[in-house]
Amino acid sequence: MNIVLTGAGKGIGFEIAKQFCEKGHRVVAISRNISRLTELNNKNLLAVSFDLTEGNYQELYDKIKQFLPVVNILVNNAGLLINKAFTDFTDDDFDKIFRTNVNAIAKMSRTLINDFSAKSHIVNISSMGGFQGSSKFPGLSLYSASKGAVSILTESMAEELKDRNISVNALALGAVQTEMLAEAFPSFKAPLTASEMASFICDFAISANKYYNGKVMTVSLSTP
């Protein structure tokens, strides 16, 4: 499989890149900081330093195209979390989160639209915070709103891209012990490791489009 992955520099994204490469898949792993990725020293991996909110997508596309003739899977994993009260967040906070969590998904998908293979799969990483009816937490209104937008964008993309034989699904993740979670909630201990969640996402990305399209699937040990 030929795979493009964003948000690959740490946490779940890094583990996804590592596990895909170890299984023999070719991966373009995108992150602003690629130091950990380059340490993997895997011939199946191309690490690309890129800012999804400000970078030149044509230049990114050219690098991807040199490494991957076609794309079978795109995992839109990059995300930004700002833990701030609703009454305190700024217009700049709003723009940063939506550019990273929503707009980057659309831009990456559009950039690669003519290079997806038949029966390809786009996987958008959402959050339980953006899933209607789930428990909500103080400080995450903006993050949750952006992930709710990811869910609706996923459903809409699936409808528009079905004639191209491209499936689009989203995974609404529950708490996972990552650097981003630890920074936002230092005292909280999540029930799953980044490696454990990455294993699930890898399997889902490879095979779930045989069964699902336009779905937002919850991946969480919590209820609701």
| pTM of the model as a whole | 0.91
User: Considering only CA atoms, which of 135, 127, 217, 112 is closest in space to residue 181?
Assistant: 127
pLDDT tens for each residue of 39-56: 999 999 999 999 999 999
Copy the structure tokens of residue 217: 């699937």
pLDDT at position 43 is 95
Copy the structure tokens of residue 79: 């995300």
Higher-confidence residue of 202 and 177: namely 202
pLDDT at position 181 is 56
pLDDT band for 192, please (50, 70, 90 cuts). confident
pLDDT at position 80 is 93
Copy the structure tokens of residue 138: 């103080």
User: Considering only CA atoms, which of 68, 159, 151, 80 is closest in space to residue 117?
Assistant: 68
pLDDT tens for each residue of 139-171: 889 999 999 999 999 999 999 999 999 999 999
Give me the active site residues, please.
143
User: Considering only CA atoms, which of 97, 53, 80, 77 is closest in space to residue 184?
Assistant: 80
Q: Is residue 196 within a helix (H) or strand (E), and if so which, with residue range?
A: helix 194-207
Domains and CATH numbers, the chain: 2-219 (3.40.50.720)
CA pair distance 97, 91, nearest whole angstrom: 10
Residues found in the chain: 224
Q: Give just the sign of the alpha carbon dihedral 132, 134, 140, 141.
A: positive
The owner of tokens 């583990």 is 15
